Chains A and B, each alone.
Chain A
Amino acid sequence: MEKVLEVKDLHISFDIHAGEVQAVRGVSFDLYKGETLAIVGESGCGKSVTSKALMRLLPTPPSRIKQGEILFEGKDLTKLSEKEMQEIRGAKISMIFQDPMTSLNPTMTIGKQIMEVLLKHQKLSKNEARNRAIELLQLVGIKNPELRIKQYPHQFSGGMRQRVVIAMALACNPKVLIADEPTTALDVTIQAQILELMKDIQKKMGMSIIFITHDLGVVANVADRVAVMYAGKVVEIGTVDEIFYNPKHPYTWGLLASMPSLDHKDEELYSIPGTPPDLLNPPKGDAFAPRNPYAMKIDYELEPPMFKVSDTHYAATWLLHENAPKVEPPKVVQERMRQFALSSGKKGGEFRG
């Protein structure tokens, strides 16, 4: 498969008065053409920072890309000038943000905001841009687009605004669409609609999507591959089936176990004990060790490398080392795994919001 984007050993730090916060500590992943890669993890695990770094949208200072490469179309995005980045942003890589209520300019009409990106990147006349904006609004399922382009964001509902944001992101047929929790701020029913829309558009336009979320239900619904992040690192990456049916990292187990399910009403919901580490002083060894019921002595000494599980599946846990004792995932996860296996031909189980 063709690689569209390649992230290699990305390190990002924020210099604040208390010291250096190592928000991203060596993230690597590839993005293939036409696929959806989900990046999941708790708040503060560095998933949003990673996604903004891909677009070079982090304010510098305080942020700084310490090392690593972001390869896109043969160029290292970390080395490009601001001017060169502007040519890429919105045209080749575009982004959708979490809160549609605040991500549109309140004093500019929807039409102008969509046309702006078209006029910036494509040689269009104003009229052509307007027609294209109307087409785009139609594409994202907004009725009466001729009328709607003259309206301001506050005249749209949250879901409709997110559709507008998507239209804006798609305007120049980007190769990569980064969606930073695009459904988190929306109602469950609207969430489902937006997810359907995104899948639909991906089918039509064939771009790759990086989907940032903390909601495993959404992941199961949209993703082809999943990267699980913890404390600024990718701890497990694999196809959606591998992550859901055959997770290897105890953190992934914890995440899966804490996912609510309609079939188990009386069961107490599992929660991962403790809190994520302070990235101002990242701990020695495996950052997850203090919260890991399967922790071994080595977890406090050495950072685990990425162990290969299959060609597409890697996990960073010492449990995969040949010397490690054989452990069984928690019962809940085992059961859940079985349950996922049972749930019909649907890839990755059904969407549960």
Chain B
Amino acid sequence: MTDFSLSDVVARPLLTTDALAGPAKRLRRESVIRGLFFAAAMVSVLISVLIIFSLVREAWTFIVGVDWGVTWGETGWFPRRGLYDMPTLLVASLIVTVVAMLVAGPLGLGAAIYLSEYASPRTRSILKPVLEVLAGVPSVVLGFFALFFISPNLIEKIGRNAWQIIGYGITAISLAGVLFWAVRAWRDSSATGAMIAKRVVGLIVMLALVLVLFLWVNAIAQDCSPVAGDVAACPSESAFTVKRSGQLAAAAVGVGILTIPLVASVAEDALASVPRHLREASAGLGARKTTTTRQVVLPAAISGIVAAFIIGISRALGETMVVFMAGGAADAAQFTASPFEGSLTMTAGMASLATGTDSVVGEGLTFQSLYFVGLVLFVLTLFLNVVAGRFVARVRERY
């Protein structure tokens, strides 16, 4: 055997503790390396501390210095003039978040359930990366899309034609309901002659009602009806005043699109964590796929799905660029609760304060107002993330 230093161990029957202590140089080197890694880990603690410190320090100046009567006066957010109306920002953030989740919630959750439960592995291997690509699209791109596409085509049209949409929509849904009922009745081979006659009469009555509804909606839409007249007359009949080139709703839809992949991926993780044997047990009892999904899988994954929603809300709340570009307000905003108007959310308000030829100019507490809003936002998103974390932990515990 090759001879090197350890071989004298075999010859010498007794060792000393020191011989087993290892060279001091190596131990020192290991400690130093461990210390370096520890320092790296502490950087994140340092950053957290700095964030909180910076926010609180500047926000405090604002809190003690501002006239609180003005701050909640519901006039508008005009920071460079010293009007710091918080409800403007808060309501705008609320509107954007709600509408965004109306988009991202169903789409994200639906996509997640489909990918997790119904899609074949090949389909999943193609479509999942597509969703991940959507996740990588920068928010400025969505802002561009929201401003130049969603705003004129979707929001302005909806805002102007809101009544028609509602009216014709109800008609269409009624027609669909009647049709469903009709087909089901048609399929019922156990019906006697008398029943069939009653059902035919019922069908005719219902169709007549739907027709009446349709004509009535037409009549109300008047010049704006697509059946009768010239649609060019519509703008004057619009249900809401719609701002040109940028509204909260357009930005909100953009934020929603941005949030879809996040909701989808968290929800999918939750669904994947439901153990297979639950699904197999349900199938073994003879349940159809849909029943299994709705009655077994979804309830089991509910904590994770709730977490997905909360995380989506937190993301929507924190999104800046889409609202900044397509939200319809530049430097300042009047208070509004209509999604068809332009306004500033907390995030866009902060961004607009910071742009311009000079960094942050204005009288008095303009700079500090930035940090006050930032503090509010930080606390809100932190709270949401912690709550979401609890729900995720609950999923992990159960399985």
Q: Report whether chain A binds chain B.
A: no
Chain B residues in contact with chain A, CB under 8 A?
none
Chain A residues in contact with chain B, CB under 8 A?
none
